[in-house]
Amino acid sequence: MMSEVVLGYCRPGFEADAGLEIQTRAAENGFYGFFRADKGTGFYLFEVQQSPNSLLDRLNIKQLIFTRQWFLVLGHHVDMCRDDRLGDLKPSLLELPLISELRVEHPDTEPGKELSRFCRKFSVPLRQILKSQKCYNEKKVAHCLTAFFVSGTECFVGIAPVSNMNPQPGGIMRLKFPAESPSRSTLKLDEAFLTFIPQNEREQRLRAGLNAVDLGACPGGWTYQLVRRGMFVQAVDNGLMDDSLMETGQVSHFQADGFKFKPKKKNVHWLVCDMIEQPQKVAKLMAQWVNDGWCKEAMFNLKLPMKRRLESVLECMEIITQELKQPFDCEAKHLYHDRDEITVYLRKQ
Ligand SMILES: C[S@@+](CC[C@H](N)C(=O)[O-])C[C@H]1O[C@@H](n2cnc3c(N)ncnc32)[C@H](O)[C@@H]1O
């Protein structure tokens, strides 16, 4: 029996939601513990008490909505000597399992970002140490060692299985804003497709010629992502659509209420929805579209309330489960480009 501490990264401001979520999911798997989270720090610590195995072997990071990245803490170093931070870390580097990746990271906060240059530089001698200890092999898929600097003199060191962590550095998918898109929201749908659709299936499931419906489409950032992949889009919104998107000939604009809109034909593959509406109402609508076969796959945002955000998300998931009368696939994540919202993927199995 052992106790362990898991460190998770999240969007600053969502530490308590992320901590409460891992505590809840862990308890469902028989791991009991408590979390510590300071608002605005971009991370939390979850202390698991007395468990026969490690939480990271039991829980999949994909099951956690608010956690971007995680690792099992091996050491916490405070008051580090600025002239010899490497020397300070050495006690955490003894008896490591096989390491195939190294990351030196910082929280996604303004003070954290000031450490990014230092972190890049620090990874060079740290990798040398791992190599000299003969526990580092980039060719194997094993563990990732992370040194997570929360300030210039405080660092958490830990490991996570490469197979059960976010492959993106810092758990953040950086995407370039396409200048032709009418809104920055476009990055949310791009990130969602890249996150939820495996690379080897994208060509098929996001192919040209598919029909899509975009509820709450204006000015057209999400429609842009569908159009650029060659799809035909029914864009539903009382607002105005971007002219250049309309000129492609791939978009039909319906000035209608997304809750009342019905597709003209039953050949819609993708339903996407970014309506600013009550999340429970949106969750129900999405589940109905999928259940009734009005679309094959759905990708949508659920806008979060200011308080009790996890509760609201769980309520929405419950609504989806109640509405769908058949087995379904559902994944949800607080993506990097999401703010006060999460993104959900849904389809019938
Ligand atoms: C966040 S914006 C969408 C941005 C869009 N996804 C983009 O990338 O440009 C939300 C949109 O939802 C629309 N909306 C809100 N409630 C709606 C409803 N009941 N039916 C249709 N559109 C709705 C608003 O008019 C607004 O244009």
d(CA 24, CA 18): 10
Q: Does the residue 250 lie in any domain?
A: yes
219 is in an annotated binding site: yes
Q: Are residues 209 and 113 part of one domain? A: no
Per-residue confidence in pLDDT tens, the chain, 349 aa: 678 999 999 999 999 999 999 999 999 999 999 999 999 999 999 999 977 789 999 999 999 999 999 999 999 999 999 999 999 999 999 889 999 999 999 999 999 999 999 999 999 999 999 999 888 998 888 999 999 999 999 999 999 999 999 999 999 999 999 999 999 999 999 999 999 999 999 999 999 999 999 999 999 999 999 999 999 999 999 999 999 999 999 999 999 999 999 997 789 999 999 999 999 999 999 999 999 999 999 999 999 999 999 999 999 999 999 999 889 999 999 999 999 999 999 999 9
Can you give the pLDDT at residue 53? Answer: 83
Q: Does the residue 285 lie in any domain?
A: yes
Q: Specify the number of domains making up the chain.
A: 2
Can you give the pLDDT at residue 101? Answer: 96
Rounded to the nearest 5°, which phi and psi values hold at 5?
-120, 130
Bridge partners of 24? none
Among residues 102, 136, 171, the one where a domain terminates is 171
Q: Are residues 127 and 13 part of one domain? A: yes
10 is in an annotated binding site: no
Q: Are residues 73 and 41 part of one domain? A: yes
Q: Are residues 148 and 24 part of one domain? A: yes
CATH number at residue 18: 3.30.70.2810
Q: Are residues 331 and 192 part of one domain? A: yes
Q: Which atom of ligand 1 is nearest to the CA of 185?
A: 8
Please tell me the residue having the least CA distance from ligand 1 atom 16: 275
In whole angstroms, how far apart are CA 259 and each of 45, 66, 236, 275, 332?
A: 41, 28, 10, 10, 22
Q: Are residues 162 and 245 part of one domain? A: no
Domain span at 97: 2-171
Among residues 171, 196, 215, the one where a domain terminates is 171
- Centre of ligand 1 from the C-alpha of residue 272, in Å: 11
Question: What is the CB < 6 Å shell around ligand 1?
Answer: 182-183, 185-186, 215-222, 236-239, 257-259, 274-277
Q: Which atom of ligand 1 is nearest to the CA of 182?
A: 9
Q: Does the residue 325 lie in any domain?
A: yes
Q: Does the residue 318 lie in any domain?
A: yes
Can you give the pLDDT at residue 1? Answer: 63
Q: Are residues 80 and 9 part of one domain? A: yes
| pLDDT tens-digit series, residues 221-260 | 999 999 999 999 999 999 999 999 999 999 999 999 999 9
Q: Does the residue 193 lie in any domain?
A: yes
Q: Are residues 212 and 102 part of one domain? A: no
Q: Are residues 296 and 149 part of one domain? A: no
Q: Does the residue 177 lie in any domain?
A: no
Q: Are residues 92 and 213 part of one domain? A: no
CATH number at residue 204: 3.40.50.150
Q: Does the residue 78 lie in any domain?
A: yes
33 is in an annotated binding site: no
d(CA 300, CA 80): 45
Can you give the pLDDT at residue 165? Answer: 97
- Centre of ligand 1 from the C-alpha of residue 273, in Å: 8
Tell the burial category of 216 from Cβ atoms under 10 Å away from its Cβ (0-12, 13-18, 19+): buried
Q: Which atom of ligand 1 is nearest to the CA of 257?
A: 20
Among residues 111, 139, 171, the one where a domain terminates is 171
Can you give the pLDDT at residue 266? Answer: 80
Q: Are residues 55 and 128 part of one domain? A: yes
d(CA 293, CA 142): 42
Q: Does the residue 181 lie in any domain?
A: no
Q: Are residues 11 and 123 part of one domain? A: yes
